[in-house]
Structure 1
Amino acid sequence: MPETLAELDLAVTSCRACPRLVSWREQVAREKRAAFRDQVYWGRPVPGFGPADAHLAIVGLAPAAHGANRTGRMFTGDRSGDFLYAAMYEVGLASQPTATHIGDGLELYGVRITSPVKCAPPANKPTPGERDTCKPWLVRELELLRPTLRSIVVLGAFGWQALLPALAFWEVPMPRPKFGHGVEVTLTATDGGRDLRLFGCYHVSQQNTFTGKLTPAMVESVLRRAADA
């Protein structure tokens, strides 16, 4: 079991546990999108991004085929990432409003971004089985963040449903709290540590941002609340 986040991130990148996801991520990396035909795709599982002492975590869904699956960094190189990092920059969580590639100078302040599924899935839809196979990575990541973690922002219902069973140190009430944009739930610690504040936010997908279902102001509002938790 990895003892540090750096060790965990390295271990994640070599995972081949889900045959369908391995096949798809590697096919995308070979065939590429025309706009990126001269680039070498990452084509592997994508680890979390952000400092090991983060007090806030942002949980998405899975890497995008031509975004993080291409660049090797969460929400980097696609429209969803453009939207998310611009909002993070506005509220003081990121050093710059853009994320194009590893080594572009982007730093995160007190926040780590991760996902319950580490490989790009076909049609952006992992199966429940793939989600469950990937769960131990998220569980361990949250365990390693436990000393400093105070709040989590979850982008979308899939991430919300995947995260709740992975929260080893906090009591999740039954029935489980439902996802919704702006929803806030406080989960009581079961280990004598700090309670956790959980926030729901619509996913920063183009389906939501292009239609106006999710605006920059809406994301910034949730991020500010979570950062101040």
Structure 2
Amino acid sequence: MGVTLSPAIDAPTADQPVAACSLCPRLVRSREKLVFSSPIVPHGPSDAPVLIVCHAPDHTRSSAKGPAFLDREAETLLYKTLVEFDLAKRHVNDNGEECIIPTGSRVISAVRCPAPAGLPQPSEITTCNQFLRSELQTMPNLRIVVTLGVLAHNATLAACGIPLSRVNFQHGQITSMPDGLKIANSHPLSRHTFDTGQATPAHFRSLMAAVRQELGTEA
């Protein structure tokens, strides 16, 4: 069972793709096949100290409320872990449903639209990078970026203007950038990586515990 999320909290100062964004024709055609056809928007406050970057919305999940960042199993793990480390909180909405509200974290995807087979093309990643760069530049309290997978890691480096060869992706590692920003790496969270053991709930919890500790040492 997945979790019910609160409505997305927009960052008013960050550049976001417009609802009818047409920058990537292939992704526009992919969106048109879904119930909800706009690019996914960030979830969580723009003044959070932690930004979590997924690779692209789950192309298998879409509803009238929009696409999802991750498959249900991974989404449940992500938000449960954020709650555990005081980066999100549980809330009961007016309909009596329990929602997860990010408080000290914000979730975004490197590519804002679901891609066919879940595989965005390099040109689409490059085109969408302007929106990730805007997020990084307009989050005043940002301290740590958690990247879920190599695609998200490389997109974050590109958005920071850092050559990809300078910082290799290493699962479970936290690296400090020249400006003090830290990047924490995890393999993608998905049913597939859980089944193969590439990423496990224990791995991700350990990484987020380290992230929480880093935030504490900087307080």
TM-score class, shorter: 0.7 to 0.9
Residue 140, structure 1, aligned to residue 146, structure 2? no
Residue number among 3, 15, 19 corresponding to 1:13 in the alignment: 19
1:162 shift after superposition: 1.2
- Relative to the length of structure 1, the TM-score reads 0.78
1 CA distance for matches of 2:209 and 2:67? 23
Distance change in 2, residues 1:197/1:7 (3 Å): closer
* 1:190-228 deviation line (CA, Å, top 9, x unaligned): xxxxx1111100110111012332221211111122233
6-15 or 207-216, which deviates more? 6-15
Identify the residue that residue 32 of structure 1 maps to in structure 2.
Answer: none
Identify the residue that residue 174 of structure 2 maps to in structure 1.
Answer: 184
1:173 shift after superposition: 6.6
**Identity over aligned residues, as a percent?**
31
Residue number among 159, 181, 188 corresponding to 2:152 in the alignment: 159
Residue 199, structure 1, aligned to residue 184, structure 2? yes
* 1:5-32 deviation line (CA, Å, top 9, x unaligned): 23647644332211100101211x1xxx
Distance change in 2, residues 1:106/1:12 (3 Å): farther
2 CA distance for matches of 1:173 and 1:80? 30
1 CA distance for matches of 2:64 and 2:78? 18
For 2:22, what is the secondary structure of its paired residue?
coil
Distance change in 2, residues 1:76/1:126 (3 Å): closer
1:152 shift after superposition: 0.7
- Relative to the length of structure 2, the TM-score reads 0.81
2 CA distance for matches of 1:148 and 1:7? 14
2 CA distance for matches of 1:224 and 1:139? 26
Structure-to-structure mapping, 1:101-180, within 5 angstroms: 105-145=99-139, 147-167=140-160, 172=162, 175-180=165-170
Equivalent residue letter for 1:95: K
2 CA distance for matches of 1:21 and 1:104? 32
Identify the residue that residue 82 of structure 2 maps to in structure 1.
Answer: 88
Unpaired runs of 5+ residues, structure 2, are 1-9, 92-96, 215-219
For 1:198, what is the secondary structure of its paired residue?
strand
CA-based RMSD of the aligned residues comes to 2.4
Count of matched residue pairs: 200
More strand by share: 2
2 CA distance for matches of 1:121 and 1:82? 22
2 CA distance for matches of 1:144 and 1:208? 32
2 CA distance for matches of 1:68 and 1:140? 25
Aligned residues of 1:45 and 1:119 also touching (Cα < 8 A): yes
Distance change in 2, residues 1:186/1:222 (3 Å): same
120-129 or 210-219, which deviates more? 210-219
Equivalent residue letter for 1:206: R
Unpaired runs of 5+ residues, structure 1, are 30-40, 98-102, 190-194
1:73 shift after superposition: 6.0
Distance change in 2, residues 1:89/1:224 (3 Å): same
